[in-house]
């Protein structure tokens, strides 16, 4: 049996000043190896694909901790080194994708007499490689080939610039409050969090920032409408030509150039639009299929959303609001209305979700579902005191993967939550390289000596990202190019993450996740029933909000001419939204998913995969939420398969049929 090898990053060795040299040396060595590999007369898996994969993997392992630290421990020195390194890498990868000699070697392996000697996973790797060479412009010549490289380098630069602008704009705004009356309505725990933020910057009173826990606390609970308005406007105008820092980190020209270059690249490759290019590696067949899917959901949702908004407006008026409900009022009055209708406030659950219990419960749920065990790695080297390293053991007690858990919001850390691969699983005759993941959130941090207490949405976020992590770490695929989430169609990659969220709502699983931080008591039946009854409160408005983002994304990428981004967003809002934001709102300037992540012309993936995840969970509703048989089958059919076969085949294997949208509608209260 091959030995299992851990390859963990050495964060202490990431020296920004030395990065350029290390990267240059590794790429030079790698290029020398490639030059040898392209000369092999009869390439096959063992003499060509496997050694190339090994060399490429080493480059990925050098870069992944650098990329991660730039996102979670950002500094000026690291940012400069990262951006310079990104250009070096992009240049190398673009040349690699256009290396015709390398491409010819894959074509030689794809001929029937060689291809038939490969196993199914290996054949998939070859097929994906040939496809990706074509999508990387290997068939381009002369000026077109040179232009493709220029575009790729500039795209890399712009994506990083977009992200840097959002981070700088987020860090730049704060409001220091010195009268406790200004914080009326905020729970004590939230006020303590803001006081701790002020103390950390040697300020008196309370500090409101645009970090997620702070922003959400103000928008949900602050009685002071002017505070809500100012905080909202600062957040929704980040990195734009509007708001308190107007023009300082403006992403307007960045967005326009990103879209122009994406369209140009698509046309160079023979596609009408960037949306067509993006869908070449997704489950969805065409932009029309995507927009039809989204509009059908909108048809099912907008009537309910309109009724919800009317009810919210009436309630706010009864509470003393003069005039129309504004964007900075919606969260505040929605929380109060939910409390009135369902006798439930989200704050009631918070004492039951101390961080340690939530994490232990997450691991316990995963253990019961998939037969794994999760243990903390003691004395592990990490990059911040908040970060812990864990390992996953399979049914036989063998180590199967590891992950770094970085849960809390802090300054100089990119907003949002995400899973990123640190090391990919791969296997040769002699060794198995264990997969390693980065799991990153921006949850409410501990306050003083008190434990961190999460709200229910934060627990759901934790489960969501861990679902991605399990997809990366539980894979049994030996070829790194299609192990874990590699090679998985982008509109299916959210299946495991959204699937795992369902266990945040069930009594049997909540008894593992939740216990009062002072008494250890489980969530009382009455409280849980009220929380479950309130689950779909505002579901229509939430649905059309996500559809707004998805339609906007696919529309701006499905044009053959220049797009007025604000005009397109306004048009989508007129079509599907019910509560329109103020004119100065520049949501798109902080939309990192599509402009600095992998979701360009793919944001619809969240709803597409939600159909799959809701339907997959419906099997557990039928058989029991901890059905050992269903859990083992999901692990085998989906989590272990990676990108080794089409996602639809994985789903049909698990469910025994094609996906049905009914479960999604039912879970969102839209079935009627």
Kindly report the CATH number assigned to the domain that includes residue 485. 1.10.1370.40
Q: Is the pLDDT confidence value at 1 over 80? A: no
Which residues are designated catalytic?
Answer: 465
**Residue 34 structural domain:** 3-97+99-135
| pTM, entire model | 0.96
Same domain, 435 and 468: yes
Kindly report the CATH number assigned to the domain that includes residue 324. 1.10.1370.10
Kindly report the CATH number assigned to the domain that includes residue 66. 1.20.1050.40
Same domain, 516 and 544: no
Per-residue model confidence (pLDDT) at position 672? 66
Per-residue model confidence (pLDDT) at position 2? 86
Domain total for the chain?
A: 4
Q: Is the pLDDT confidence value at 646 over 70? A: yes
What's the chain's average pLDDT?
Answer: 97
Same domain, 338 and 357: no
Give phi and psi for 397, each to the nearest 5.
80, 10
Model pLDDT for residues 329-379, shown as the tens digit of each residue: 999 999 999 999 999 999 999 999 999 999 999 999 999 999 999 999 999
Domain presence at residue 528? no
Q: Is the pLDDT confidence value at 558 over 70? A: yes
Same domain, 512 and 543: no
The mean pLDDT value for 449-460 works out to: 96
Same domain, 314 and 358: no
Model pLDDT for residues 4-54, shown as the tens digit of each residue: 999 999 999 999 999 999 999 999 999 999 999 999 999 999 999 999 999
Q: Are 643 and 131 in contact (CB under 8 A)?
A: no
Domain presence at residue 357? yes
Model pLDDT for residues 219-265, shown as the tens digit of each residue: 999 999 999 999 999 999 999 999 999 999 999 999 999 999 999 99
Q: 10 Å Cβ neighbour count for 359?
A: 21
Same domain, 358 and 334: no
Model pLDDT for residues 296-331, shown as the tens digit of each residue: 999 999 999 999 999 999 999 999 999 999 999 999
- What DSSP line would sit under 458-502, residue for residue? HHHHHHHHHHHHHHHHS---S-GGGSTTTT--GGGTTHHHHHHHG
The mean pLDDT value for 445-458 works out to: 95
Q: 10 Å Cβ neighbour count for 28?
A: 9
Give phi and psi for 407, each to the nearest 5.
-90, -30
Q: Determine what percent of the chain is predicted with pLDDT higher than 90.
A: 98
Same domain, 328 and 475: no
Same domain, 224 and 267: no
Q: Is the pLDDT confidence value at 548 over 90? A: yes
Same domain, 288 and 385: no
Q: Is the pLDDT confidence value at 643 over 90? A: yes
Instruction: Kindly give the interhelix angle for 142-172 and 252-268, rounded to the nearest 10 degrees.
Output: 150
Same domain, 495 and 549: no
Domain presence at residue 476? yes
Domain presence at residue 422? yes
Domain presence at residue 157? no
Q: Is the pLDDT confidence value at 642 over 70? A: yes
For residue 520, the number of C-alpha atoms closer than 13 Å in the C-beta half-sphere is: 0
Model pLDDT for residues 135-190, shown as the tens digit of each residue: 999 999 999 999 999 999 999 999 999 999 999 999 999 999 999 999 999 999 99
Q: Of the residues 490, 520, 550, which one is the last residue of a structural domain?
A: 520
Q: Is the pLDDT confidence value at 494 over 80? A: yes
Per-residue model confidence (pLDDT) at position 389? 98
Same domain, 338 and 355: no
Domain presence at residue 241? no
Instruction: Kindly give the interhelix angle for 100-110 and 120-135, rounded to the nearest 10 degrees.
Output: 150
Per-residue model confidence (pLDDT) at position 671? 81
Domain presence at residue 319? yes
Same domain, 541 and 516: no
Domain presence at residue 161? no
Q: Binning pLDDT at 50, 70 and 90, where does residue 195 land?
A: very high
The residues, ordered by sequence, that sit 6+ positions from 126 with a Cβ below 8 Å of its Cβ are: 49, 106, 109, 110, 115, 118
């Amino acid at each position: 049996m091959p030995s299992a090898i851990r390859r963990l990053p050495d964060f202490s060795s990431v020296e920004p000043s030395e990065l350029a040299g290390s990267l240059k040396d590794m790429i030079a060595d790698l290029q020398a190896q490639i030059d040898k590999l392209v000369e092999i007369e009869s390439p096959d898996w063992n003499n060509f694909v496997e050694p190339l994969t090994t060399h490429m993997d080493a480059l990925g392992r050098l870069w992944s901790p650098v990329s991660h630290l730039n996102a979670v421990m950002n500094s000026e020195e690291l940012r400069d080194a990262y951006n310079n390194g990104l250009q070096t890498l992009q240049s190398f990868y673009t040349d690699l994708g256009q290396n015709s000699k390398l491409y010819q070697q894959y074509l030689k392996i794809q001929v029937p007499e060689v291809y038939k000697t490969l196993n199914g996973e290996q054949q998939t790797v070859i097929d994906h490689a040939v496809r990706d060479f074509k999508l990387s412009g290997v068939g381009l010549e002369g000026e077109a080939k040179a232009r493709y490289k220029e575009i790729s380098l500039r795209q890399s630069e712009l994506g990083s610039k977009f992200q840097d602008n959002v981070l700088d704009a987020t860090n730049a705004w704060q409001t220091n409050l010195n009268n406790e009356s200004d914080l009326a309505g905020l729970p004590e725990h939230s006020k303590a969090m803001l006081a701790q933020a002020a103390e950390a910057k040697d300020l008196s009173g309370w500090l409101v920032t645009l970090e997620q826990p702070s922003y959400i606390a103000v928008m949900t609970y602050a009685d002071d409408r002017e505070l809500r308005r100012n905080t909202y406007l600062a957040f929704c105008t980040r990195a734009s030509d509007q708001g308190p820092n107007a023009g300082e980190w403006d992403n307007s020209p960045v967005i326009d150039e990103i879209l122009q270059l994406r369209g140009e690249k698509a046309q160079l490759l023979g596609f009408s639009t960037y949306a067509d290019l993006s869908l070449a590696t997704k489950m969805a067949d065409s932009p029309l299929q995507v927009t039809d899917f989204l509009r059908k959901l909108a048809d099912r949702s907008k009537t309910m959303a309109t009724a919800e908004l009317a009810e919210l407006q009436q309630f706010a008026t009864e509470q003393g609001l003069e005039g129309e409900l504004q964007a900075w009022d919606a969260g505040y009055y929605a929380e109060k209305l939910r409390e009135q209708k369902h006798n439930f406030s989200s704050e009631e659950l918070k004492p039951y979700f101390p961080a340690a219990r939530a994490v232990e419960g997450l691991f316990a749920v995963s253990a019961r579902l998939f037969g794994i065990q999760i243990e903390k790695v003691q004395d592990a080297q990490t990059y911040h005191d908040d970060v812990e390293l864990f390992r996953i053991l399979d049914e036989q007690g063998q180590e199967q993967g590891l992950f770094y858990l970085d849960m809390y919001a802090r300054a100089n850390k990119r907003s949002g939550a995400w899973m990123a691969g640190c090391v990919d699983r791969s296997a040769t005759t002699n060794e198995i390289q264990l997969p390693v993941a980065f799991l990153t959130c921006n949850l409410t941090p501990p306050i003083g000596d008190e434990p961190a207490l999460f709200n229910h949405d934060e627990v759901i976020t934790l489960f969501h990202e861990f679902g991605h992590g399990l997809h990366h770490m539980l894979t049994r695929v030996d070829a790194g190019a299609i192990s874990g989430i590699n090679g998985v169609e982008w509109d299916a990659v959210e299946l495991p993450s959204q699937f795992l969220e369902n266990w945040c709502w069930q009594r049997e699983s909540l008894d593992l996740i939740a216990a009062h931080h002072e008494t250890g008591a489980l969530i009382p039946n009455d409280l849980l029933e009220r929380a479950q009854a309130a689950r779909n409160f505002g579901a229509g408005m939430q649905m059309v909000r996500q559809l707004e983002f998805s339609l906007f994304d696919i529309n701006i990428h499905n044009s053959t001419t220049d797009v007025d981004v604000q005009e397109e967003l306004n048009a989508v809002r007129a079509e599907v939204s019910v509560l329109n934001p103020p004119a100065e709102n520049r949501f798109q300037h902080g939309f990192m998913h599509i402009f600095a992540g992998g979701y360009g012309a793919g944001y619809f993936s969240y709803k597409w995969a939600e159909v799959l995840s809701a339907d997959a969970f419906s099997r557990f509703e039928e058989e029991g939420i901890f059905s050992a048989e269903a859990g083992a089958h999901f692990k085998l059919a989906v989590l272990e398969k990676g990108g080794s076969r089409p996602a639809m085949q994985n789903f049909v294997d698990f469910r025994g049929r094609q996906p049905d949208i009914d479960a999604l509608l039912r879970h969102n209260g839209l079935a009627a």
